[in-house]
Amino acid sequence: MTEFTLDLNEDQKQVRDWLNGFAKDVMRPAAAEWDEREETPWPVIQEAAKLGIYSLDFYAQQFFDPTGLGIPMAMEELFWGDAGIALSIVGTGLAAVGVLANGTEEQIGTWIPQMYGDANDVKVAAFCSSEPDAGSDVASMRTRAVYDEAKDEWVLNGTKTWATNGGIANVHVVVAVVDPELGSKGHASFIVPPNTPGLSQGQKFKKHGIRASHTAEVVLEDVRVPGGCLLGGKEKLDERLARAREKARTAGGAGERVKNAAMATFEASRPAVGAMAVGTARAAYEVALDYAKTREQFGRPIIDNQGIAFQLADMRTRIDAARLLVWRASWMATTGKPFTSAEGSMSKLFASETAKKVTAQAIQILGGNGFTREYPVERMHRDAAIYTIFEGTSEIQRLVIARTLSGMPIR
């Protein structure tokens, strides 16, 4: 088992510095423009593709880092550059992970390359799970997938919402209900190939923050996909549904254990979002620190005032504490240590709340300047709001932590 360490090895340091350079030289100069335009920053994604950052190979290398620190380190540096652009760069990874986790080798080899395209013809993908009435409550999902045995096709109907890259994606991965009686265990994931009739973009959301990332509804009206687009295949699905039905019949407790196993999967993914929040918080703190050192009032730098200095001390302390929680959870997930105290949710909760607090403090330190778009902390504060919402709200994280500590079932 890989021992936990706070020292990055030389390979990790090189990757960190490489990503930091890209974030500083490419992302930051473009951040304000794409935030104002509220459009996908295709030129920046293309540059990331040319450098090898926007690729499955890069994220696979970080994911398989035996220390578990590859992904959180990469997320922190990219989101230190700019949250909206970074989400446009990493958003395709959500769909790719869905295929990697559930697809066959043939499906992985066929669809993931089409999600990314290449440096000359960049593509994006979308993972479509949330619905207008089913966000945290996945059991309330209404999008249905019905199998047409005569044609060996699945017919999908429903509306998805909050889909990153929704409607503009080359490939959509859609989660749908195949057996309503089984609740969340009756779901399956489907590939919707490019230009499939019946799939359309619904409302594109005009957001408070992360505005360089495209977020929209995806409408599915009698969308027919080949049987081979069911991730994992029908035989595997039928076996899984049969096991779920049997457990539901024989013991109610078994169903709870299955749900808890699913929650463990979400626990393992939450530290990555925490790392994104750490990146945004660190960026805002650095702007505030530099400003406090150079801005003079009453004949001296404002950092000489305890009211400012103590705020900066608290900001740095919270950022370092958040990073440590994220790294601990990431290491635990990689090395197979169980999250007996919901450590994944802890890291996401603390880091996301830290990002909101630190970016607000940065605005306060900059005063009137911080409230204008001439300085980036205003944008960072708007971006930070999303971290306490997506991948499970802060309220959901607290619920997961509390129920884990008390031994109550997590639904």
Q: Which residues are catalytic?
A: 391
CA neighbor of 230 nearest in space, from 128, 148, 154, 139: 154
Sign of CA dihedral 92, 97, 98, 99: positive
CA angle 396, 352, 161 (to 5 degrees): 60
Residues 6 or more apart whose Cβ sits within 8 Å of residue 287? 362, 366, 375, 376, 377, 380
Q: Which amino acid is at 55?
A: S
Measured between alpha carbons, how far is 48 from 87 in angstroms, rounded to an integer?
13
Tokens of 304: 């000489």
CA 375 to chain centre: 26
Let me know: does 173 contact 190? Beta carbons within 8 Å: yes
Measured between alpha carbons, how far is 186 from 168 in angstroms, rounded to an integer?
28
Tokens of 306: 């305890």
CA angle 44, 45, 47 (to 5 degrees): 65
Measured between alpha carbons, how far is 234 from 237 in angstroms, rounded to an integer?
5
Measured between alpha carbons, how far is 28 from 20 in angstroms, rounded to an integer?
10
Strand pairing report for 171-177 and 125-128? parallel
In this structure, the number of other CB atoms found within 10 A of the CB of residue 169 comes to 27
